A and B are shown apart, each in its own frame.
Chain A
Amino acid sequence: MQFSQKSKEHIDSCRFCWMCHHVCPIGNATGLERNTARARALGLSLVARDAIEYSEDIINNVYECSLCGGCMKDCVTGWDPVMFTKEARLGAALDGKMPAYVEKLIDNIENSGNIYGLKEIDGVLKDAIKDLPETAEVVLFIGKDGAYKTPEKAAMAVELLKKANVNFTVNKYEPNSGYDLDFLIGAADEAKKTMTETADVLNKMGAKTVVCYDPADAKVFLREYKEYGINLDAQVVTFTSFVAGLIKDGKLSVKKSDKVLTFQDPALLARDLEETEPAREILSACGEVKEMLLSRKDTMLAGNLVMNEYMPKVMQEVALSRWINAKNVDAKVLVTASPAEYALLNETNDGSIELVTIEEAVLKCL
């Protein structure tokens, strides 16, 4: 395994530093020392020194990270465990050392376009999009988690845009944004190839705006595509910022309820895309917003569906930890803006607080 000079520098800085220990959602959930940025860095620093092999064991540890960026956000110096973790994943792919569970997910993407190996989207979502035009000014990009894991909620997003009379469509054969591949193998050729193909599809649709229902897709469109020089003609916006704009422009008339809401900031939205306020603008129109512990850029991950494919028990613990914060703030409704987080919070919901997606929250107040 050959690390770049930049990665080596970050690895060596993190290997003896514990300062971000408390913000790792995986480490907090498992209580395992190896699930810390410093542990991963220490292992990789020994690999870089040829003191240990880049073995299956070390590689598995590299995949026990959600890339949520909590550690990076916490570091006042600016060291970046996400960067070297992604490079280590790329290295495993290039060396032909990917764990079997990663290979399986990549095979699924190759064969079916999504990590789940599913070919058909749910009927509810299919029905919701069937009458939409082939082309429109706005393309709503649902993403794979929304399409396959929370299709009813994705259908609500479609319904919301219809109610706002937005000239939009959804690609019935929506391609993969490349988020999953970027998560699993970083800047590998397969990921870039998928992203290039997806950019071609979107460009051919001729839309002016691509609205990303899932912050994960917005993140790769706005960051990795640019980094890899992949051109998207349309302007990419997040679903939350788009809906906030619809409310501001009076296209959605929202009636304020007496409900107390708290918002689970998706890490990719708050940290990678630095977007925290549009969701609050939306929810302030719907009710009273109370902030739970660790909000905005300090948010704590509540779940990742890629990892859920190979670490489901840990993902349940991650979601359960976040429920504790939501309950402590005395909110009646927890609102999500990420299909992955909705899916995992829903799976672990004991029913004491209502869980809704942001489009659902708005629909209830129309």
Chain B
Amino acid sequence: MTDFLFDVIATELEDAVGKENCSTRAIDKITHSVDYFWLSRMWADRGLRMPEGDFIVAPKDAKETSAVLKIANYYKIPVTTWGAGGGTQGGAIPVCGGIVLDTKRMNKIYDVNEQGMYIECGTGSIYKHIEWAANEKGYATMHYPSSLTCSTVGGFLAHRGIGVSSTKYGKIDDMVLQMEVVLPNGDIIETSPAPKHAAGPDLNQIFIGSEGTLGVMTKAQMRIYEQPESRQFRGFLFHNMTDAFNAGRELLQKFKPSVMRLYDEAETATLIKKIVGVEKKGAFMNIAIEGVKEMADLEMKILLETFGKYGAEDLGSEYGEKWWKEKITFFYPGHMMDIPQCFGTMDTIAPYDKIEKIYWAMKEAIETNFPQARFIAHFSHWYEWGCMIYDRFIVDGKDVPQDPHEAFRLHQEIWNCGVRTALANGGVVNDHHGVGIKLGRLMKEQYGPAMQVFEGIKKQLDPNGIMNPFKLGL
């Protein structure tokens, strides 16, 4: 791009969003080039610059977003949408340069609607802020991922995020009613006024999980819930994971707890020991039950009876309460894996008939092919039909090449090995972190010819291919 054309585009963008909201400052480019993706972090750690946007723009609403996308389409400039940058898959990295569209000025909370039980907000709102808004009126969003404080509403919608209370309250796609979306051509649309309808496919579900490749979500109505009268915790220690899966499956045919988290023996002996204080060997499982006290009491009785049948040791409420209190502590620097380690979370999901097989297959594949790697896992989102594995590989710093290109290669090889093993055994590319640039290449391996459905939608909505190129395998 010539300097002349650069200035032409810069002034048009400034006109669209205001001069102070269109930046070409180095600090803005740098901070929008590194997200939570290990490769971007490693790159920066080695003193290298990641691919950067040329223009960092921050529209305040759908109208300004529309103006930006029209400019981008006219000049055929890539647009990468950035929420807060807390994604692990490199989905917000502007790999082709162009425009980075930061949504955080769209952070207005328009309405805490106690009648309709939702909050209408800009998608640039940090989720914790809408939780605060709900709390101020005596409600809660019940969306409690570890990234609650670091991520935007739009960010969670973009990769179909999930929180720790998912078994009772669902994933982010269960928590959204209506959305406002700006299409790549600049048209502003609204999805249907309510979900779960028969007026054709659900438009929400086309954009949720699309990772900025099909448009920009600018406003959303997110559900709120009454605070539970009672929230009760119970920790258990299973002899093995097979018993835990069987117990969990049986429990879910009877009622839905809010939290269900099973840690494999390796995580029980490391993370759970360190943060929660469980010293015993086995597979730790934490259950939370919540709602009306009378019902919660009854559910607790059923829980104890059910898990007792599978030989689970009842550890009482103390560890569970400690876990709830510390649930975000796990993710602060000093508690969480960090550079110089090489690490990644290969979250996948499958029905109960496959999930344990996937776990053992992935563990064997990683540990056999990469003896320098440790493999640990927990199972944190449970449904009546199956659950997900939050499995992580960790390579200690001494075994990670200092050369960035070699480190890059090692990272990619481990990911290929792990995800392909999951796919071969009935899993999916990802459960709730998304695809981004990290896993795009594997999407076709999962979907085969079904990928043309996504490609067709992409081609129709974004014929110039400007929206978040090279993400989601599109």
Contacts and interface: CB of A to CB of B under 8 A. Distances in A.
A51 B404 CA distance: 14
A21 B58 contact: no
Interface stretch (A28-36, A92-100, A111-119): A28-36
B372 interface: no
Nearest to A18: B150
Given A32-B58, A34-B28, A328-B136, A16 B339 contact: yes
A39 B31 contact: yes
Contacts of A57: 25-27
Given A21-B84, A58-B26, A58-B27, A13 B334 contact: yes
Contact of A77 (B28, B137, B335): B335
A42 to B, nearest CB: 6
Given A58-B26, A76-B329, A77-B333, A18 B128 contact: no
B464 interface: no
Contact of B332 (A17, A28, A31): A17
Interface string B19-63: 000000111101110101000010011011100000010100000
Contacts of A205: none
Contacts of B333: 13-14, 16-17, 77, 79
A42 B44 contact: yes
A13 B86 CA distance: 15
Contact of B149 (A21, A55, A58): A21
A46 B328 contact: no
A16 B41 contact: yes
B32 A33 contact: yes
Contacts of A38: 31
Interface in A37-81: 38-39, 42-43, 45-46, 49-52, 55, 57-58, 60-61, 74-79
B129 interface: yes
Contacts of B12: none
Nearest to B150: A18
B433 interface: no
A366 B136 CA distance: 33
A19 interface: yes
Secondary structure class of chain A's binding surface, majority of residues: loop
A18 B27 contact: no
A22 interface: yes
B58 A31 contact: yes
Interface residues of A, number: 44
A144 B257 CA distance: 57
B14 to A, nearest CB: 15
A246 interface: no
A329 B104 CA distance: 25
Interface residues of B, number: 47
A21 B27 contact: no
Given A16-B339, A17-B333, A50-B47, A22 B36 contact: no
A83 interface: no
B26 A76 contact: no
B149 A19 contact: yes
Nearest to B32: A33
A32 B60 CA distance: 12
A322 interface: no
A294 B82 CA distance: 27
Contacts of B335: 76-77
B331 interface: yes
Contacts of A19: 149-150, 328, 331-332
A20 B48 CA distance: 25
Given A15-B44, A16-B339, A77-B334, A52 B151 contact: no
A57 B30 CA distance: 11
B129 to A, nearest CB: 6
B86 A18 contact: yes
Contacts of B41: 16
Interface in B296-326: none
B76 to A, nearest CB: 25
Contact of B36 (A14, A18, A50): A18
B136 A293 contact: yes
A38 B102 CA distance: 16
B219 to A, nearest CB: 15
A328 B137 CA distance: 8
Nearest to B104: A31
A31 B124 contact: yes
Contacts of A32: 28, 58, 102, 104
The 6 closest A-B pairs by CB, nearest first: A18-B150, A31-B104, A49-B47, A39-B31, A77-B334, A31-B105
16 contacts: A16-B36, A18-B147, A21-B150, A28-B126, A31-B58, A31-B105, A33-B31, A33-B32, A33-B102, A39-B30, A43-B30, A46-B49, A49-B47, A51-B49, A52-B26, A60-B27
Interface of A: 12-23, 28, 31-34, 36, 38-39, 42-43, 45-46, 49-52, 55, 57-58, 60-61, 74-79, 293-294, 325, 328-329
